[in-house]
Amino acid sequence: MEQQFLEELQHIAGTDKVHQMEPMSRHTTFRVGGPADVLVQPDYKTLPDIIRHCRKYGENYFIVGNGSNLLVGDGGIRGVVIEMVTDQQSLIVSGDRVTAGAGMLLSKVANFAADHELTGMEFASGIPGSIGGAVVMNAGAYGGEMKDIIESATVLDAAGCEKILSLEELELGYRKSCIIKNNYVVTSVTLKLSQGNPEAIRDRMKELNEQRRAKQPLEYPSAGSTFKRPEGYFAGKLIMDAGLRGYRLGGAQVSEKHCGFVINREQATAEDIHQLIEHVSAEVHRQFGVKLEPEVKMVGER
Ligand SMILES: Cc1cc2nc3c(=O)[nH]c(=O)nc-3n(C[C@H](O)[C@H](O)[C@H](O)COP(=O)(O)OP(=O)(O)OC[C@H]3O[C@@H](n4cnc5c(N)ncnc54)[C@H](O)[C@@H]3O)c2cc1C
């Protein structure tokens, strides 16, 4: 990476926002992952210039929200990681619409909606991602998905130009959207909610979060469900039936509490997790002929 590129990046973003050789284990919920050459935490104003700057120098960039669906390899990430930062100023309510900056955590947006007596977002209140990441993944739980509540999203294209995408244009499907294939960066999201009873909203959020705590291994680092739901099956059940409950490889383990989660049981490396995912997929395929596809995004160098 050229020194001039770095100096100009520091000038655009601010020196304190640019970190060299930053361990990605600090920025992912799996708590694994080697260093990013550079990690920058820009505010929304400087983001378009940072994208243009990377483009001008031909540097790759990768966007990270809350890092809750990522498995970054032990070799780290070459190029620039742009981490979307939480910005308290970026929550706005207007009637039954809420607009949030992309780095804002879903739990914060859900609480804000509840404060304004708006219902519809309860299902997402316990998903530990940013709202930008939730659009990219069309995150969902307990019968709800982001697709049900999104009205539009503002994105920057690869040239750093702003666009507003409607719900249809976002092409939301099961844990996917058009964002990654178009190299867009989501900068804000507008949700269309509806008026509700504040007590009922809070009760529902509490109930769902209790269910999560009871069923999911939240006491260990993970990236949530490791695999997508294969059509006609449940990944967790297949993995349990394959006899892999609690199976360990290095520091990585198939959770005993919920077999659909691979957890970082004890100082796992990303390689431990990779190999465990491969082993689980191969075993389930061998025993049941079902192909498990990772929901977790694997990025960087192994
Ligand atoms: C304990 C636990 C429970 C979970 N439960 C659920 C669940 O119930 N339902 C569910 O759907 N998921 C769940 N997840 C997975 C995860 O929280 C979601 O996928 C979430 O939407 C990811 O958001 P994030 O901000 O962490 O994205 P990241 O993990 O940081 O990134 C995910 C992808 O989105 C891209 N991205 C992120 N932000 C932007 C942006 N602003 N612009 C462009 N691209 C961006 C990244 O490049 C990456 O490709 C769980 C995870 C954990 C750890």
Per the structure, the count of domains in the chain is 3
* 228-275 residue pLDDT tens: 999 999 999 999 999 999 999 999 999 999 999 999 999 999 999 999
Q: Is residue 206 part of a domain?
A: yes
Domain shared by 67 and 94, yes or no: no
Domain shared by 110 and 202, yes or no: yes
CATH number of domain containing 58: 3.30.43.10
* Closest C-alpha to ligand 1, atom 47: 63
CATH number of domain containing 251: 3.90.78.10
Q: What is the pTM of this model?
A: 0.97
| Average pLDDT score over the chain | 97
* Closest C-alpha to ligand 1, atom 37: 133
Burial class (CB in 10 A: 0-12, 13-18, 19+), 29: middle
For 9, list phi and psi in degrees, rounded to 5. -60, -45
Q: The tokens 């659909």 sit on which residue? A: 260
Between 21-30, 78-87, 206-215, the lowest mean confidence (pLDDT) is in 78-87
Domain shared by 92 and 211, yes or no: yes
- Ligand 1 centre distance from Cα of residue 2 (Å): 31
Domain shared by 76 and 13, yes or no: yes
* 59-110 residue pLDDT tens: 999 999 999 999 999 999 999 999 998 766 789 999 999 999 999 999 999 9
Q: Is residue 110 part of a domain?
A: yes
Domain shared by 120 and 209, yes or no: yes
Q: Is the CB of 135 under 6 A from ligand 1?
A: no
- Ligand 1 centre distance from Cα of residue 201 (Å): 23
* pLDDT at residue number 88: 63
Domain shared by 100 and 190, yes or no: yes
Q: Is residue 226 part of a domain?
A: no
Q: The tokens 């809070």 sit on which residue? A: 202
**Neighbour-count burial for 243-273, b at 16+ CB within 10 Å, e otherwise:** ebbebebbbbbbbeebbbbbbbbeebbbbbb
**Single-letter amino acid, residue 260:** G
Angle 177-186-61 (CA atoms, 0-180°, nearest 5)?
Answer: 95
**Neighbour-count burial for 44-59, b at 16+ CB within 10 Å, e otherwise:** bebbbbbbbbbeeeeb
Domain shared by 122 and 170, yes or no: yes
Q: Is residue 59 part of a domain?
A: yes
Q: Is the CB of 140 under 6 A from ligand 1?
A: yes
- Ligand 1 centre distance from Cα of residue 137 (Å): 6
Look up the domain containing 276 and give its range. Answer: 235-299
77, 84, 136: residue to mutate for ligand 1 pocket, most atoms within 8 A of CB: 136
